[in-house]
């Protein structure tokens, strides 16, 4: 029997579709892992856009608590095709054999706040500086190897007084997680305010959290590396 997802509203469906669309843009064969608890009213969607070396997480509110748990890896493209924004629902596609990252997810708990993260404006300024450096390359130097070299240098830098690599913020921006939050202006109109961001740590992972989603990356050192990762099924 096909598992149907019923979202809290059409906005949740649209946001999920936008997230999946960005993943498919970077990788047409992208897979996502879906998790939801029995009795829970949220669906966690995990993806890994190539090149960024981070895991992206989008939480989607459900219309009602689930009667049964869900934990499956599916094609991001097939899930995207099934999303019905008007009806605020989607069909869970058949399971696929996912890439290795789908078996290694960040911890479900134990997250503690990490100080030292710059304000959202400073984060965007750091990203703009990085992009400007790439664009400033003269035509004769705009080779793949040179751009990859600059990319490794730029995106491995850390943000503020934290150990979070700039590539994590780059991924959050590229996936639409750092877009402004719409607020009501005093005159009754709507204005954009910087999306609040926060940094958390747990078990060797760092997670950059915004109202639209999170990106998580494994910290280097004794607590990091594939040898220290644990598979934690729902």
What residues contact residue 60 under an 8 Å CB cut-off, 6+ apart? 5, 7, 12, 15, 16, 42, 43, 44, 45
Give the start-to-end residue ranges of the domains of the chain: 4-103, 112-228
pTM of structure: 0.83
Instruction: Return the pLDDT at 138.
Output: 83
In this prediction, residue 183 has a pLDDT band, given cuts at 50, 70 and 90, of low
Give the span between the Cα atoms of 181 and 195, in whole angstroms.
Answer: 5
Give the span between the Cα atoms of 155 and 172, in whole angstroms.
Answer: 13
Does residue 230 have a pLDDT over 50? Answer: no
Does residue 78 have a pLDDT over 60? Answer: yes
Instruction: Return the pLDDT at 85.
Output: 96
Instruction: Return the pLDDT at 106.
Output: 94
DSSP string, the chain: ---EEEBSSHHHHHHHHHHHHHHHHH-TT-EEEEEE-TT--EEEEEE--TTT--EEEEEEEBSS--SS-EEEEEEHHHHHHH-BTTTTEEEPPPP----GGGG----SS--EE---PPPHHHHHHHHHHHHHHHHTS-GGG--HHHHHHHHHHHHTSBPTTS--BHHHHHHHHHTTTTSPEEEE-TTS-EEEEPPP-EEEEETTEEEEEETTEEEEEEPSSTT-SGGG------
Q: Which of 28-42, 54-68, 190-204, 220-234 has the lowest mean pLDDT?
A: 220-234
Instruction: Return the pLDDT at 164.
Output: 93
The third-level CATH classification (topology) of the domain covering 4-103 is: DNA Polymerase III; Chain A, domain 2 (3.10.150)
In this prediction, residue 75 has a pLDDT band, given cuts at 50, 70 and 90, of very high
Instruction: Return the pLDDT at 92.
Output: 97
Q: What is the pLDDT of residues 144-161, one digit of tens each?
A: 777 777 777 778 889 889
């Amino acid at each position: 029997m096909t598992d149907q997802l019923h979202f809290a509203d059409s906005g949740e469906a649209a946001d999920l579709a936008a997230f999946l669309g960005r993943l498919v843009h970077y990788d047409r064969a992208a897979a996502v892992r879906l998790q939801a608890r029995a009795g829970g009213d949220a669906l966690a969607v995990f993806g890994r856009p190539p090149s960024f070396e981070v895991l992206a997480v989008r939480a989607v509110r459900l219309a009602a608590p689930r009667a049964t748990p869900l934990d499956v890896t599916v094609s991001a493209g097939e899930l995207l095709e099934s999303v019905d924004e008007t009806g605020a629902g989607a069909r869970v596609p058949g399971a696929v054999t996912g890439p290795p990252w789908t078996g290694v997810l960040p911890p479900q708990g134990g997250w503690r706040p990490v100080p030292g993260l710059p304000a959202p404006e400073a984060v965007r300024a750091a990203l703009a500086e990085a992009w400007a450096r790439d664009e400033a390359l003269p035509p004769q130097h705009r080779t793949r190897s040179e751009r990859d070299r600059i990319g490794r240098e730029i995106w491995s830098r850390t943000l503020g007084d934290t150990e979070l690599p700039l590539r994590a913020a780059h991924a959050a921006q590229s996936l639409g997680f750092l877009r402004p939050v719409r607020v009501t202006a005093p005159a009754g109109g709507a204005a954009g305010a910087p999306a609040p961001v926060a940094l958390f740590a747990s078990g060797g992972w760092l997670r950059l959290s915004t109202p639209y989603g999170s990106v998580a990356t494994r910290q280097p050192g004794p607590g990091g590396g594939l040898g220290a990762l644990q598979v934690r099924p729902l």
